């Protein structure tokens, strides 16, 4: 058994390299957290959620979130819209390619992304979008990475008449839940409960719908759904269909399965939050391999701060014996750096 490494924004991570298998593990190996009490008027109830989040983020880096508040109808509509979009001819999808966007908005074809630099490209196609911004939005003039107009398919294409509004509705609902996650993070880090609120007034919060074709037979380990990686931002909110594909690297360097749980989102810490907390919160390596024999779809939302927020190690996460491990960096600059490392067309530019 050999040891391999994955480069992340916070340095290399090691794991045992032994093929594509993962250990089937009961879903409660990844903590299941009820976020319903975050809406309680009782501070003690919210504090309990914060304590559960702290344990999950310091020990695992992943948790399932129940009672997230995003309506099932909104989720179902978004998956249906994704099915229709990815069924369009490639020629139509390519008219809104991410290569036409300075901020990675639009369509990415199969193998157009390579999250693991040692691999050959990811076996998925994607559509990325974020906060809806008009061309004359004053923040666009500031030149901060992450603020950009979205690219949308022509509503006259079959099935696309409500695509834009459906995805923006999901985005708005997921942002509302994301704000509660930040609130729970503040409690977990012994900060004022509203500490992150002014830092997410116009956040870097890119959502995407993903389509994974099935991979059957002998699979090239260097060309899977998404190669081994960690996420860039503070955290990711992942909604998946019923097909299992996600695998998470545990502390022993072994891959475990993270199957879907009905009614729950999967939330994982990103590199920016690991950096912000001086490695207290864990940004866990993960990958996806669709061996279900069917098409698989998912909806991740990568939630960061406003792009001009400085990410400097939090006071509550440093001391004389535990000094900051990272230099301060602007959030937008950090994400831009990571995206450039992932997309071939940006490296060519």
For each of the domains in the chain, give its residue range(s) and CATH number, in order of start: 2-348 (2.60.120.330)
Q: What are the Cα distances from residue 294, in Å, to 90, 211, 290? A: 20, 11, 8
pLDDT at 83 over 80: yes
pLDDT value, residue 13: 45
Between residues 245 and 2, the one the model is more confident about:
245
- Three-class secondary structure assignment of 259-309: CCCCCCEEEEECHHHHHHCCCCCCCCCEEECCCCCCCEEEEEEEECCCCCC
186-241 confidence digits (pLDDT tens): 999 999 999 999 999 999 999 999 999 999 888 888 899 999 999 999 999 999 99
18-29 confidence digits (pLDDT tens): 444 555 443 347
Express as a percent the part of the chain with pLDDT over 70. Answer: 90
Q: Residue 182 corresponds to which tokens in the numbers above?
A: 């930040």
36-60 confidence digits (pLDDT tens): 999 999 999 999 999 999 999 999 9
125-176 confidence digits (pLDDT tens): 999 999 998 888 888 888 778 888 999 999 999 999 999 999 999 999 999 9
pLDDT value, residue 344: 53
Residue 93 CA to residue 158 CA, distance in Å, equals 12
pLDDT value, residue 338: 82
pLDDT at 347 over 60: no
Q: Residue 73 corresponds to which tokens in the numbers above?
A: 């109808």
């Amino acid at each position: 058994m050999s040891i391999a490494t994955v480069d992340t924004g916070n340095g290399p991570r090691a794991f045992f390299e032994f093929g594509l298998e993962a250990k089937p593990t009961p879903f409660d190996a990844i903590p299941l957290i009820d976020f319903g009490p975050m809406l309680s008027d009782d501070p003690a109830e919210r504090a309990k959620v914060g304590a559960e989040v702290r344990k999950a983020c310091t020990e695992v880096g992943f948790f399932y979130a129940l009672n997230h508040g995003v309506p099932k109808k909104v989720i179902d509509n978004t998956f249906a819209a994704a099915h229709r979009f990815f069924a369009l001819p490639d020629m139509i999808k390519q008219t809104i390619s991410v290569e036409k966007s300075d901020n990675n908005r639009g369509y990415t074809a199969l193998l157009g992304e390579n999250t693991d630099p040692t691999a050959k490209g990811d076996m998925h196609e994607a559509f990325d979008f974020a906060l809806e911004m008009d061309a004359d939005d004053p923040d666009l003039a500031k030149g901060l990475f992450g603020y950009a107009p979205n690219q949308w398919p022509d509503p006259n294409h079959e099935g696309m008449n409500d695509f834009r509004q459906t995805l923006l509705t999901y985005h708005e609902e997921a942002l509302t839940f994301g704000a509660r996650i930040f609130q729970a993070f503040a409690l977990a880090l012994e900060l004022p409960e509203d500490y992150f609120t002014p830092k997410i007034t116009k956040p870097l919060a890119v959502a995407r719908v993903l389509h994974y074709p099935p991979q059957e037979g002998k699979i090239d380990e260097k060309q899977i759904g998404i190669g081994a990686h960690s996420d860039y931002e503070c955290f990711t909110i992942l909604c998946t269909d019923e097909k299992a594909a996600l695998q998470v690297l545990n502390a022993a360097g072994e891959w475990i399965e993270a199957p879907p749980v009905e009614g729950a989102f999967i939330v994982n810490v990103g590199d920016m939050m690991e950096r912000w907390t001086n490695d207290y919160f864990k940004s866990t390596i993960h990958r996806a391999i669709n061996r279900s024999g069917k098409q698989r779809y998912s909806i991740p939302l990568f939630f960061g701060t406003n792009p001009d927020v400085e990410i400097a190690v939090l006071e509550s996460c440093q001391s004389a014996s535990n000094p900051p491990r990272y230099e301060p960096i602007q959030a937008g600059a950090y994400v831009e750096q990571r995206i450039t490392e992932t997309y071939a067309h940006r490296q060519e530019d």
